[in-house]
Structure 1
Amino acid sequence: MVKYKRIVLKISGEALAGDAGFGIQPPVIAKIAKEIKAVHDLGVQIAIVCGGGNMWRGEAGAAMGIERAQADYIGMLGTVMNGLALQDALEQIDVPTRVQTSIEMRQIAEPYIRRKAVRHLEKGRVVIFSAGTGNPYFSTDTTAALRAAEINADVILMGKNGVDGVYSADPAKDATAVKYDHLTHMDIIAKGLNVMDTTASSLSMDNDIPLVVFNMNEPGNIERVVKGENVGTTIEGGES
């Protein structure tokens, strides 16, 4: 029995790089694909948004002197590369997958069409949303929140690289940091917690979409979250 029947899984680019910290590591992606397959086999409809931080960060590019919008477009292309790599890993283990991009590149992926994405999900295909929203200045967190609202997802699962939830401070730097089990979207905004940007938090709150932040590196965690087990930090509701 599953708690969430249609999910948006947000995977950071760093999670695809593993210990290397940069680039695409096929063995790491293969492990993630197996975790996704286990959830797919439960009959859950899965949409995925990949970050691009393992390839490029628009803000960092802008800091080096590249015009910000241009730097962001470079980052969007990085998310497409991640999406294609994940698609390959999923299809190698017989999980039907479609990549849809917000920037058209028809030779390698479908353009994003909301109704077509929903139809793919209904047919049991995993849909990977790439190239962000198609606009500069918007993060892939915002993409996840936007797509979740558009496809009427039950939840956004935010897989973190080695972090098992939301803390009051960085646990690697502050020994007194406290892990939260439950928060509201307003808590995230008001406390300035580093979970997702304020645009994404506001979108999730306005559309009443819960968010679960959990450790992607722990085997079986995606399945546990989907089944409703108390894993990571659950964020839902507006006011505290």
Structure 2
Amino acid sequence: MDALSARARDDRANRRYEQVVGDLRKFTTEEYEFLQPIYEEMLWASRPRPSLLDIGCGVGVQAVAAARCGFHVVGVDHSHTALMAARHLAALTDVTVRLVLADARWLPFARSARFDVVQCLGNVLLLQRNLAEAQVLLETAVSNLGTAGWLLLGWRDYQSSHGWSPRTDTIEYRVTVHESFSTLRLRSSGHADEPFEHCFELLRLPHGWLIEQGARLGVRQSAAIRTNGGFNYSLLRSTR
């Protein structure tokens, strides 16, 4: 795929994201209000102005929330269009976020550039093609953690009756659950300004997989999984 085609694909993906979440600034404020107590727990135990790496930051919702809480934030994403949207959102919110274009699995940071906190939220972990790729992503996240650093992971629950649903009435969705993945189909209703239909697959993490992989990599769960509107969060801490 050439650069222009990739850029057009990214543009469409970001417009669809905004259709799904609705008012982006309102969504960012809601994320900030939910994540603030989690961030404050990590801020309390870290040095002043701690660093935070947001892997797969997308349009910057959680990166901006972290910056508002006082972190020095670096956001990484493979989509140039998403990073442009993140830069715009940071400017609207009057915070500074350093944005880097890179593949989340192979980050361009020196081994000495360790972070106090690494977060990987949204569907980044579930959008890997298989468990082997998810494991590589998790290894990358842990390898960028500093001594006694924090790892915040998040993913959406599309399967339970109390799980995720679109935030606007212009989107219809259907989930089909398979053994190792779920299929999510999104379709805009007749009220949408830009009609679309999209289907993608999300990994289903085996029960206990995260704790097992964390123990192997030297991070242990510090807080029980918290839920927020279909999001699951797990806070882990490095034992190194």
Higher relative contact order (CA 8 A, sep 6+): 1
TM > 0.5 between the two? no
Point out the structure with the larger strand share. 2
> Structure 2 length normalisation: TM-score?
0.39
> Structure 1 length normalisation: TM-score?
0.39
Point out the structure with the larger helix share. 1
